[in-house]
A = this chain, B = another copy of it.
């Protein structure tokens, strides 16, 4: 029997780093979770345990902290670029490096309506994401967001769908539509203004979600992606995942009550799953 190794990579997961900057106008707090992966000339380590090409993942962890201290950056994309380039540039055995940076956003506290210069809250489940795939040949940069839980209370239906012998679902002229949005987009180059692009894409996705006359999740997902590509010239493709997080109307008729889509039971599982990738031609 001959065995070949068709793929291998290694790295460090979940390196958490917080960077606090003090300033008379107010402090800033940035928190990232970082994943590093490298591919390259590492097969001998697998075959024989020869570690001479293997930079410890502990060093990768140190590197995250050191580069966070040495460099200024204002976006997860920028930090992911610094990291991925570092490993390829400094390690001849690493042909390719991947850096994933996930931001847990800290926002200023505003008790009583006034923004506080040194008080913060990690208010949201939403995560901003960045991903860089860097090698001598090519640098791919992606931005995105995940775990953004959104709902529209009207202007959403699902009707005239395909029916088979196992179908019991009825047409719904109007229903609550909820999802936990994940979107990622590819930047046309590593030199764009990531924060401006993020703001444009995120706003387009949310505005379209809320406004759209939805005939299905698919229908709204496509409209959202289309609008993001329209308004954010910095990106040339967008992938969107929209699980359909169901909120089931409760049948109150056994108790002599109607239920005009008012009382719903949210369930975590099962959920629908809808995804698509849209490209600018």
> Hey, which bits of chain A sit against chain B, CB under 8 A?
1-22, 27, 29, 31, 33, 35, 37, 42, 45-59, 61-63, 65-66, 68-70, 90-91, 93, 106, 109, 111-112, 116, 118-126, 148-155, 158-169, 176, 202-203, 206-207, 209-211, 214-219, 221-222, 225-226, 229-230, 237, 239, 243-244, 247, 250, 252, 254-255, 257, 259, 261-281
Contact = CB atoms under 8 A, between A and B. Distances in A.
30 contacts: A1-B280, A2-B281, A6-B237, A10-B217, A10-B274, A10-B275, A12-B271, A13-B243, A13-B272, A15-B270, A16-B265, A17-B250, A18-B265, A19-B263, A19-B264, A20-B261, A27-B154, A33-B269, A46-B219, A47-B222, A58-B169, A59-B168, A59-B169, A65-B252, A66-B166, A66-B257, A69-B257, A111-B203, A119-B152, A166-B255
Contacts of A274: 10
Tallying the copies of this chain within the complex gives 4
A46 B218 contact: yes
Contacts of A9: 273, 275-276
Contacts of A158: 51, 56
A266 B217 CA distance: 26
A252 to B, nearest CB: 6
A168 B253 CA distance: 11
Given A161-B55, A247-B18, A218 B10 contact: yes
A154 to B, nearest CB: 5
- In terms of DSSP, what is the predominant structure of the interface of chain A? mixed
Which of A118, A230, A275: most chain B CB closer than 10 A? Answer: A118
- Report the 8 A-B pairs with minimum CB-CB distance, sorted nearest first: A49-B215, A119-B210, A49-B219, A14-B269, A111-B206, A46-B222, A8-B276, A111-B207
Contact of A216 (B51, B111, B221): B51
A233 to B, nearest CB: 9
Contacts of A154: 22, 27, 118
A125 B278 CA distance: 31
Given A9-B275, A13-B271, A166-B255, 6 more contacts: A16-B269, A17-B264, A22-B153, A46-B218, A65-B250, A121-B206
B226 A8 contact: no
Contact of A278 (B5, B52, B63, B209): B5
Contacts of A202: 111
Given A17-B263, A126-B123, A268 B268 contact: yes
